[in-house]
Copies of this chain bind each other. A is one copy, B any other.
Amino acid sequence: MKEKLFVIKIGGNVVDDSTTQAAFLNAFAGIAGKKLLVHGGGKIATRIGEQMGIAAQYQDGRRITDAATIDLVTMVYGGLINKQLVVALQAFGCNALGLTGADGNILPAAKRPVIETDYGFVGDMVQEAMQPELLVQLLETGITPVLAPLTHDGHGQLLNTNADTIASAIAIALSAYYTVSLVYCFEKKGVLQDINDEESVVPLITPAIDAAMRREGSLFAGMLPKLDNAFAALTAGVQHVIIGSADDLAVNCSVEKKGTLIQL
């Protein structure tokens, strides 16, 4: 039987607040066994960009990564946030090691082609080109990799890539070696039955439950792509996907969960 591995993704809201972050990292460091962290950090990048006079640019609600912005996120994601997480985890006794997708060529990607919109230096992961051996080697020596949401094109260009996508791609690649639980920490306690009731967490979603909820229209529209991604990861070999609050990380990585468990 394969050993367990938790691939855990946190968003900018956790990274942004030092109290929330410390509590989360303490819980993360306390998870027994192998684990890997993927982080976002958009709000901090926007704030530091403003200090540097780099305005965030959007088209159709999606951020455009121009040359100044890729340097900005390289600094903020790959430097400030990544290293602050690593140094804090080290203090909690977790032997963390921070990486971008360029480091060790862990996350090869392709610059998104310009069709209607030029998103700039944005990378789409190349799942079949991923070489997860280095991550496995690090995990096997007791290292906890901490991944920033940056990939590269192999020709010298760093690329901005969605952290949810990176977490999913890594979970899939590592499911050849481990029994992987993919945990998305976000601002709600889980997938909610009623978007206005924070306590209405749906405890379990299977393909049948998902189909029924979509028929009833009881899923918040924003959850649909997350669930699509979750089922894609499960189909590709990930054992569980868990969606829940960063505050509930410890319990969500145990048998009894407060968040939403998604499985086939």
Binding site for B on A (CB under 8 A): 48, 51-53, 71, 74-80, 82-84, 86-88, 90-91, 95-100, 102-105, 134, 137, 141, 143, 150, 152, 154-158
Cβ-defined contact, A87 with B141, below 8 A: no
Which residues of the other chain, B, contact A100 by a CB distance below 8 angstroms?
83, 86, 98
What are the 8 A-B residue pairs with the smallest beta carbon separation, nearest first?
Answer: A79-B79, A91-B156, A75-B75, A75-B79, A78-B79, A87-B102, A97-B103, A97-B104
Is A76 a contact of B78 with CB atoms below 8 Å?
no
CA of A217 to CA of B36 in the docked complex: distance in angstroms?
Answer: 56
Q: List 26 A-B contacts (CB under 8 A).
A: A51-B51, A51-B53, A52-B52, A71-B80, A74-B79, A78-B79, A78-B80, A78-B82, A78-B83, A79-B79, A79-B82, A83-B100, A83-B102, A83-B103, A83-B150, A84-B158, A87-B158, A90-B152, A91-B154, A91-B155, A96-B103, A97-B103, A97-B104, A98-B99, A98-B102, A137-B137
Instruction: Point out the residues of chain B lying under 8 angstroms from A76, CB to CB.
Output: 75, 79
A77 to B74 CA separation, bound complex (whole angstroms): 11
On chain B, the residues within 8 Å of A82 by CB distance are 78-79
Which of B83, B87, B143, B156 interacts with A88 by CB under 8 Å? B156
A97 touches B99 (CB 8 A): yes
Report the minimum CB–CB distance from A260 to chain B (whole Å): 32
Q: A95 contacts which chain B residues (CB < 8 A)?
A: 104-105
State in angstroms the CA–CA spacing of A78 and B76 once bound together: 10
